[in-house]
A and B are shown apart, each in its own frame.
Chain A
Amino acid sequence: MKTFIQFSIFMLIAGLAIVLAIILGDRGAWYFAWLVGTVMIVLIAAVGGALLDAQDERAAALALERKDGKH
């Protein structure tokens, strides 16, 4: 039941997004671009932060491997 409710909510959101995209795409292409662009900018910036963590962890792991190899 919980899955069904979640599924329904997400389908509703998807439906609304499609209607919004059609209306904005037709009458307000730049508004639509702002909506999509802002989401993209926010998410790419967020991914950049997570990527820095991954880079640090990878570098630390590599350094540890080299250290272990030396010993």
Chain B
Amino acid sequence: MHDITVVDLSRLQFAATALYHFLFVPLTLGMTFMLAAMETVYVVTGKVIYKQITQFWGKLFLINFALGVATGLTMEFQFGTNWSFYSSFVGDIFGAPLAIEGLMAFFLESTFVGLMVFGWHRLKPGQHLAVTYLVALGSNLSALWILVANAFMQDPVGAHFNPTTMRMELNDFAALIFSSDAQAKFVHTSIAGYVTAAIFVAGVSAWYMLKNRHMELARRSFRMSVLFGVLSTAGVITLGDALGFVGAEAQPTKLAAMEGLWKTESAPMPFNLMAFPSQENQTNYGEVKVPYVLSILVTHSLTGTVPGVDVLEQRAEERIRGGIPAVSSLKMLSADPKDPVAMNQFTTHQKDLGYGFLVKRYADDVTTATDEQIAQAAKDSIPHVATMFWSFRVMVLLGLGMLAFFVLGLIYTLRNTVQYKRTFLKFAVWMIPAPFLACEAGWLVAEIGRQPWTVYGLLPTWMSASTHSVGYMVFSLIGFVAVYTVFIVIEMYLMVRAIRKGPDDGNGAAELDVGDLSLPASRKTLAEA
């Protein structure tokens, strides 16, 4: 039997490393394509300012990329060290996309990053631009394969459990990569990275405009970033809706937790704008409801409805009872893999196998599980509602706030007046943390919402961990947090230093600041007249 403290510490360690790593990832995903956009203008128009713009933001991208890689490498090792049963159980499926990510996407990205950095004087502009696009493609393909692997954990398709080998086996690779969850999750995450980069570039550009420094770079960067951002934010919201739609089908418990939906309601269901959910009492306090909206959001109709926690727990209880014979048949099959009675029993109940594992936490011999133990296991099938509810709302609120920011910024920049809007510019600087927080909140929704499963409906989290000691886990957790905190501090220091220093002409020489362009040309010339 696993020590639950070790399981919780393993979860905490993975969550900590993933959340740290995910501070770097979105900026990398978005910055590469922003650099591609900037360099495209340079190659098409031949204006040197765009080369300098690309090189400046490229420097910031590189700082982030280097630290992102460093924090990401350890995560893959954790599957083997802390989640050994999980790795054994689904390694045949999970390993394939991770291997492709390493061999195809990461190698592509890393190789061409070198060319992008050192190739300015060695490649023709068109060739260098192609390299920049390949870096962008590589970094996003890297995210694709990771998210395909993650999507299998959320919605396990394209695989089956083999009772002879006692592990999951891949039988349809196309189903794995084209699963609805993989598609929606990849596009949502990738474009969230675009939004992060757009806010970052807009915020730093706004800071330059406030300081009346590097105005040529700042005005152009700001213009491009808000256009990049407004389109990306619209995409993120659209794909967020798609993920909710997919999730309603594949992970109803996640959706119920996100919405604080304790009791199943008839259509059209109201949306809980605000509430304070209590897991213990299975109710919400201080609810503020908006009529009709939940049905529209999750079913795209006024007549649609989704199950609440009450119905989902009842279903889980039924499936646990159905899964108990499947689990007990595995014991017989491990003694005699050709036992026809055991095989027949397994085949009949295999769809509920994972739910049978849920109750094994309380009764080692599942056939002796009491009604109370089954009821407790059914309760476990619901993720922590308050965390889900608020993480989701923080993400959505920040997303909508960023959309409003980009729209206003777009109006100002199209009128060419943004450099005079000092309050807005100050606000733009303060917006920089917003997408990072939104991404972290989104990651919490995705991963806490999957609980109590590592592979939804198949493998409970409590069974997936390795059997380490508490001391080992505490020691390694402290080590990870300490090292990663140092990484964050280094990143912040290098970024701030590079931003304060500002752009150069590509040879480390003078700044490209053109102070008199702080006024748009029309006003400047009129002032002179």
Q: Does B190 contact A (CB under 8 A)?
A: yes
Q: Does A8 contact B (CB under 8 A)?
A: no
- A46:B41 contact, CB within 8 angstroms: yes
Cα(A52)–Cα(B40), bound, Å: 15
Query: B30 to nearest A CB, angstroms?
Result: 10
Q: Identify A34's interface contact among B50, B177, B187, CB under 8 A.
A: B187
Chain B contacts of A12 at CB under 8 A?
Answer: none
- A67:B529 contact, CB within 8 angstroms: yes
Number of interface residues of B (CB under 8 A): 46
Chain B contacts of A62 at CB under 8 A?
Answer: 522
Cα(A19)–Cα(B359), bound, Å: 49
Q: Does B430 contact A (CB under 8 A)?
A: no
Q: Does B350 contact A (CB under 8 A)?
A: no
- A31:B186 contact, CB within 8 angstroms: yes
Q: Does B493 contact A (CB under 8 A)?
A: no
CB 8 Å contact bits of A38-71 with B (1 = contact, 0 = none)? 1011111111111111011101101110110010
CB 8 Å contact bits of B169-199 with A (1 = contact, 0 = none)? 0000010011010011011001100100000
Query: B235 to nearest A CB, angstroms?
Result: 6
Q: Identify A49's interface contact among B184, B223, B232, B416, CB under 8 A.
A: B223
Chain A contacts of B469 at CB under 8 A?
Answer: none
Binds A, one of B31-39, B334-342, B366-374, B504-512: B31-39
CB 8 Å contact bits of A15-53 with B (1 = contact, 0 = none)? 000000000000111110110011011111111111111
Cα(A40)–Cα(B37), bound, Å: 10
Scoring B178, B186, B194, B524 by chain A CB atoms within 10 A of each residue's CB, the highest score goes to B178
> Which residue of A has the minimal Cβ distance to B416?
A55
- A67:B223 contact, CB within 8 angstroms: no
> Which residue of B has the minimal Cβ distance to A27?
B178
Cα(A31)–Cα(B191), bound, Å: 12
Chain B contacts of A64 at CB under 8 A?
Answer: 525
- B225:A45 contact, CB within 8 angstroms: yes
Could you tell me which residues of chain B, from 113 to 151, have a CB within 8 Å of some CB in chain A? 140
Looking at chain A's contact residues, the main secondary structure is: helix
Query: B347 to nearest A CB, angstroms?
Result: 30
Cα(A57)–Cα(B239), bound, Å: 39
Cα(A59)–Cα(B219), bound, Å: 15
Chain A contacts of B187 at CB under 8 A?
Answer: 30-31, 33-34, 37
- B521:A38 contact, CB within 8 angstroms: no
Cα(A49)–Cα(B228), bound, Å: 11
- A46:B183 contact, CB within 8 angstroms: no
Cα(A66)–Cα(B523), bound, Å: 12
- B521:A46 contact, CB within 8 angstroms: no
- B224:A48 contact, CB within 8 angstroms: yes
Q: Identify B194's interface contact among A41, A46, A50, CB under 8 A.
A: A41
Cα(A50)–Cα(B242), bound, Å: 34
Chain B contacts of A45 at CB under 8 A?
Answer: 34, 37, 224-225, 227-228, 231
Cα(A28)–Cα(B190), bound, Å: 16
Query: B464 to nearest A CB, angstroms?
Result: 29
Query: B50 to nearest A CB, angstroms?
Result: 7
- B38:A49 contact, CB within 8 angstroms: yes
Query: B58 to nearest A CB, angstroms?
Result: 15
Q: Does B526 contact A (CB under 8 A)?
A: yes
- B529:A63 contact, CB within 8 angstroms: yes
Knowing A42-B33, A42-B36, A53-B47, the reply to whether A48 touches B522 (Cβ < 8 A) is no
- B521:A57 contact, CB within 8 angstroms: yes
Q: Does B520 contact A (CB under 8 A)?
A: yes
Query: A31 to nearest B CB, angstroms?
Result: 6
Could you tell me which residues of chain B, from 475 to 529, have a CB within 8 Å of some CB in chain A? 520-522, 524-526, 528-529
Query: B143 to nearest A CB, angstroms?
Result: 11
- B186:A34 contact, CB within 8 angstroms: yes
Q: Identify B235's interface contact among A37, A57, A66, CB under 8 A.
A: A37
Cα(A66)–Cα(B174), bound, Å: 65
Query: A42 to nearest B CB, angstroms?
Result: 5
Q: Does B45 contact A (CB under 8 A)?
A: yes
Query: A9 to nearest B CB, angstroms?
Result: 14
Chain B contacts of A40 at CB under 8 A?
Answer: 231
Knowing A67-B525, A70-B529, the reply to whether A41 touches B33 (Cβ < 8 A) is yes
Query: A61 to nearest B CB, angstroms?
Result: 9
Q: Does B44 contact A (CB under 8 A)?
A: yes
> Which residue of A has the minimal Cβ distance to B140?
A38
- A-binding residues in B (CB < 8 A): 33-34, 36-38, 40-41, 44-45, 47, 50, 140, 174, 177-178, 180, 183-184, 186-187, 190-191, 194, 219-220, 223-228, 231-232, 235, 239, 242, 413, 416, 520-522, 524-526, 528-529
Contacts A46-B38, A53-B45 known; 16 new A-B pairs at CB < 8 A: A28-B177, A31-B186, A37-B187, A37-B235, A38-B140, A38-B194, A45-B227, A47-B227, A48-B224, A49-B38, A49-B41, A52-B219, A52-B413, A59-B416, A59-B521, A70-B529
For the complex of A and B, list the 3 residue pairs with the smallest distance between their C-beta atoms, beginning with the closest: A63-B525, A59-B522, A30-B183
Subset of 11 A-B contacts with CB under 8 Å: A31-B183, A31-B186, A38-B194, A44-B228, A46-B38, A46-B41, A55-B416, A56-B521, A63-B524, A64-B525, A67-B528
